[in-house]
A = this chain, B = another copy of it.
């Protein structure tokens, strides 16, 4: 990968970038030993999702070395939509160079400009580095009045 600074600008992916997004998400899950439906299935879904209004992806690098995936939903407590940062991944050899920060900064700027009311993330208990990273970017994992955590629960159907 070039070290040209122009190469390390985060940019919003279009449906044409579905293959690069799918490849990075697949490699993410493979690295962390999580099941993946495979690059082809992910790419097919992303071609459809990225063409719609509710899924946003950021890429960084040419070829892309990092991805952020965001989905939007309505929320009765806010005027604007709420964004969930589903995934943030940077390839191992490119970590520690601020690529995650560049993608988060772009997300925050775009979210503010487009009237998104809040951004949410689910972070694993043991992933203290990620917790610190998000705290540095203004996210809070504790209720401001009680200091308590919120736990994420799920049921697959």
Contacts and interface: CB of A to CB of B under 8 A. Distances in A.
Contact of A72 (B73, B79, B141): B73
A76 B148 contact: no
A49 B77 CA distance: 12
State the oligomeric state as a number of copies: 2
A123 interface: yes
Main secondary structure of the interface of A (DSSP, over half): mixed
Given A25-B76, A73-B72, A76-B42, A150 B137 contact: no
Contact of A71 (B45, B73, B149): B73
A111 to B, nearest CB: 6
A141 B137 contact: no
Interface string A61-82: 0000000010111111101000
